[in-house]
Amino acid sequence: MNEDTDRRRGKIAGEVEVKVKEIISWVVYFVCLLAAVFLINTFVVQRTMVSGESMYPYLHDKDQLMMDKLSYRFHDPERFDIVVFPVMRDGKEEYYIKRIIGLPGETVQILDGYIYINGEKLEENYGAEVMLDAGRAVQEIPLAEDEYFVLGDNRNKSDDSRYENVGNLKRDKIVGRAWVRIWPLNRICIVKHQ
């Protein structure tokens, strides 16, 4: 009986050891999974949502986007890229989605509702309409070597670089660029920048 009891105890101890190893392997798996999700979300891609109609007609209110946070580590933002950046509004940070119009070292001015870069009218077809308010861009706005000028596509319903609360966008404030629209399902697409 003593030998039989010892065998049963040994068998139970072995089963417990196997269960403990299995639990540890699951815990390690979930920790690695959470770390991978954190690293991807922090450095590679992140989901964001369009709030408002400032990028209409290309982007709509409540569109869900995946934002590419990696590519600007290898190259500079380009004209017409749609970028995401923070702005302080009413004492809290909000994220804006706008299109890059002016590049570092350029001057931007808005005359009679049209954009001029370094004195030349910009040929573009993103603006939903002629701008009624040039804001501070009624005068030439010089951009420093790390600054961009951004506008919403729905120019008359956009809070953008024409106004002091946004102003010239510093390069280090750009979180990423819009990459893929993932919602609504009937409008899933890669976001076009050029």
Q: Catalytic residue positions?
A: 54, 98
Q: Which tokens in the block code for residue 70?
A: 């990696």
